[in-house]
Amino acid sequence: MLKKVNLKREAGSLHKLFTYLRVGQLNDHVLHVLTAENRTLDFHIHEDSDEMFYCIEGRFQIELDDGLVDIEEGDFIIIPIGVRHRPVCTGLAKCLLIERAGTLNKDNTGGAYEG
């Protein structure tokens, strides 16, 4: 049986910040929901995968070498392979991340990803 996923409900089930909850897989890409607040990660590059951020609730920014991109509820952004970036959260944000399996690790998640 196929499983329907409600992103708002899944993100709302996270009671601990910076927890990556796996909500699906699409071919070799993994979908995680995450709740973050008041955190800026280090700049990093993904060598083997594009990465997509979709804002479920709240707002955050993605900082690139040429400036900041505001991401608000309902927005998404795709970061291509090899583009240096970092998420910047100044308030509470709930988002969906999509990237190739194995892309997330402790180094590019501020030590939060448990795999």
110 assigned to some structural domain: no
- pTM of the full predicted structure? 0.89
113 assigned to some structural domain: no
Q: For residue 28, give its domain range.
A: 7-100
Q: Quote the number of domains for the chain.
A: 1
39 assigned to some structural domain: yes
Which residues lie closer than 8 Å to 98 by C-beta, 6 or more apart?
Answer: 26, 29, 30, 31, 32, 51, 52, 54
pLDDT per residue as tens digits for the range 64-111? 999 999 999 999 999 999 999 999 999 999 999 998 887 766 566 665
pLDDT per residue as tens digits for the range 4-34? 999 999 999 998 988 889 999 999 999 999 9
| Helices within 3-47 (DSSP H only) | 7-12
80 assigned to some structural domain: yes
Q: Tell me the HSE value of 87 on the side-chain side, using a 13 A CA sphere.
A: 30
CATH number where 76 lies: 2.60.120.10
Q: How far is CA 58 from CA 32, 39, 52, 89, in A?
A: 17, 14, 17, 10
49 assigned to some structural domain: yes
CB of 71 closer than 8 Å to CB of 78? no
